[in-house]
Structure 1
Amino acid sequence: MILYLSIAIVASVLMALGLLMMKSRSAHLPMAAGAHVIGAIVAWLRDPMWIGGLGVQTVGWALYVIAVSRAPVSMVAVMMQGGIALFVIASVVILGERANGREWAGIGAIVFGMLMLTLSLQAGETEGEFEPGTLLMFSALLAVAGLAPMAVARLNASGAAAAILSGVAFGLGGLFTKAMTEEFIAGGAASLALRIVSNPYVYGLIVANIAGIVLLQNSFHSARGIIAMPLSGALSNIVPIAGGMIAFGERLPAGSMAAAMRVGAFVLTIAAGALLAGSREQPPEDPIAARAAVES
């Protein structure tokens, strides 16, 4: 299992790098909203840096699929948070973003939660039987919950609502990926092509991940990456953690200390998300974009 969790860490690094590349173009690209959704997405795809970031993310996602096929989805989800710390550091060093004390506390809670999780690995994991009906119901309830912040004007204006919904979408994509691998393994002698086209979770993970990318890129227009990405990332990991226990029968470690550290890691993730969602600061003005606006 350590091998596949290590693969998950590499995946998280690549996905964070891809998001950093995409965030660096947020001031230069249009927002995908209303009647301009298709046009905005086309503009994103034509931007070399943005499409390069998407390519790096795709490689990271492929490694994530490998990791989640052999390790419990809740464990892989929390290991993926290592990319959040890397993204934050790069945002400060490369993009010139800054965080206040409250925001650093949230970011630190995520990193410390990852350390607690690592210390609990020696206790091992157990998985139960996958329940498709439970996953469907869990997904529907989460979709409704993720849409709720969109009705709050302050969260919409700050970009937090889009970041929250993107985290829910990415998290559901992670659960659908796990379900897809379960179905593939159980597919037996059927051809790979047939197993792909007949697997409903393939379409679910495609829709969820595309929605997550669009929503996160939109949140980058209104929020600093140092806030939007950790908020989205924390939620994208909470969803598989909860879904892994509810729909896949994953259980806590048998040892009391390891179990306590695992629960503590989950709680810290939730607390960190709450701290980051309360941020009201806007992203710093991009000097190149500002100069272009003045000249025009």
Structure 2
Amino acid sequence: MSLAPAVALAFAAAGAVGYGIASVLQAAGARRDPGMLQTLRDPVYLGGVGLDLLAWLASLAALRTLPVYQVQAVLAGSLAVTVVVARFALAARLRAVDVAAVAVTIAALALLAAAAGPQDAAEPGAATRFWLAAAAVPVAVAGWAAARWCPPDVNGGVTGTLAGLAFGGAALCARAVTLPASPWQNPAALAAEPLVWALAGFGVTGTLLYAHALEHGQVGPVTALLWIVEVLVPSGVGVVLLGDSVRPGWGAVAVTAVAATVAAAAVLAHAPANAAATAPATAPSTAR
């Protein structure tokens, strides 16, 4: 079932805010308790995990109506939320360039909202649906191989990139999947949809790879790579294969806005406030 565009955009924005706040809650919970087992029982940390899940569900709802490039760019704005909340909740340092990146993110997302325009429901053919579902397997295999055999100096970057690819695949599946009229009243029909299983597979792969990347790489570069891949790759696929469109005459504006969002995300990924809002490696990290 599709939502009204304004409502879907509100869901995407809520997902970005949820992800941003969840990162700070998980960091605060992990700092209060030494060791993984204690962290897993901490109510603040668990609140962050629950908020992560709600944000993910909000993004899936938005993808039923909005183009992939718009939703993914809005979600990348969660980094701006993280650094602002961490500034006040964790007393993290906020640089002048971080303030500028937050302002650029807000302006770019406003332009992107105007550029997207009304969208038709995604109706990919059988071949497109098959290849989207099948892609979950090689991405998972590549992630496992990279985590196991990549040299230590590049392991975090490679697995972070593959995590972004996996989360992007989940977004594409959410946009392309055809759901039964009453999915929760017809679980058999829901289970028979390959893209539902692919979405779950991409999500699990992305979460595990991102956690691994944070344990083996620096927070800033890993997060920047994740968002660059997660925004750009599925956005291009959505336009080419799923019929995502731009308002006539707004193509250059949309491309510029997406590029500005990615650039701002790269800056914010290196912000001291974002590093402060990332849970230590002793605590499991959730991303979506």
Q: Under a length normalisation based on structure 2, what TM-score does the superposition of the two structures give?
A: 0.71
In structure 2, C-alpha distance between the alignment counterparts of 1:222 and 1:105, rounded to whole Å: 29
In structure 1, C-alpha distance between the alignment counterparts of 2:203 and 2:72, rounded to whole Å: 15
Match of 1:259 in 2: 251
Gaps of 5+ in 1: 31-39, 290-296
Give secondary structure in 2 for the equivalent of 1:70: coil
Give secondary structure in 2 for the equivalent of 1:14: helix
2:23 is the alignment partner of 1:19: yes
Distance of aligned partners of 1:163 and 1:110 in 2 relative to their CA distance in 1, 3 Å threshold = farther
Once the two structures are superposed, residues 44-94 of structure 1 have per-residue CA deviations (whole angstroms, 9 ceiling, x without a partner) of: 644433332111111122222222222223322222233221012123333
2:70 is the alignment partner of 1:78: no
2:17 is the alignment partner of 1:6: no
Give secondary structure in 1 for the equivalent of 2:246: coil
Question: Quick one: which of 166, 169, 173 aligns to 2:170?
Answer: 173
Residue 97 of structure 1: CA displacement?
4.2
Residue 213 of structure 1: CA displacement?
2.7
Once the two structures are superposed, residues 200-235 of structure 1 have per-residue CA deviations (whole angstroms, 9 ceiling, x without a partner) of: 222222232233333334444566766655553443
Q: Which amino acid aligns with 1:175?
A: L
Identity of aligned residues (%): 22
Q: Which amino acid aligns with 2:65?
A: R
In structure 2, C-alpha distance between the alignment counterparts of 1:246 and 1:139, rounded to whole Å: 19
Question: Quick one: which of 193, 201, 204 aligns to 1:207?
Answer: 201
Q: Which amino acid aligns with 1:16?
A: G
Distance of aligned partners of 1:189 and 1:54 in 2 relative to their CA distance in 1, 3 Å threshold = closer
In structure 2, C-alpha distance between the alignment counterparts of 1:220 and 1:105, rounded to whole Å: 26
Q: Which amino acid aligns with 2:20?
A: A
Q: Is the 8 A contact 2:77 2:265 kept in 1?
A: no
Distance of aligned partners of 1:201 and 1:129 in 2 relative to their CA distance in 1, 3 Å threshold = closer
Match of 1:236 in 2: 230
Give secondary structure in 2 for the equivalent of 1:52: helix
Q: Map 1:24-173; keep pairs closer than 5 Å.
A: 24-25=28-29, 45-98=40-93, 110-121=105-116, 123-126=117-120, 129-130=123-124, 131-136=128-133, 151=150, 153-156=152-155, 159-173=156-170
Query: How many residues matched?
Result: 269
Q: Which amino acid aligns with 1:268?
A: A
Q: Is the 8 A contact 1:113 1:269 kept in 2?
A: yes
Residue 261 of structure 1: CA displacement?
0.7
Residue 248 of structure 1: CA displacement?
0.9
Q: Map 1:281-292; keep pairs closer than 5 Å.
A: 283=275
Distance of aligned partners of 1:226 and 1:99 in 2 relative to their CA distance in 1, 3 Å threshold = farther
In structure 2, C-alpha distance between the alignment counterparts of 1:176 and 1:236, rounded to whole Å: 13
Distance of aligned partners of 1:192 and 1:70 in 2 relative to their CA distance in 1, 3 Å threshold = farther
Gaps of 5+ in 2: 282-288
Residue 184 of structure 1: CA displacement?
0.6
Match of 1:248 in 2: 242
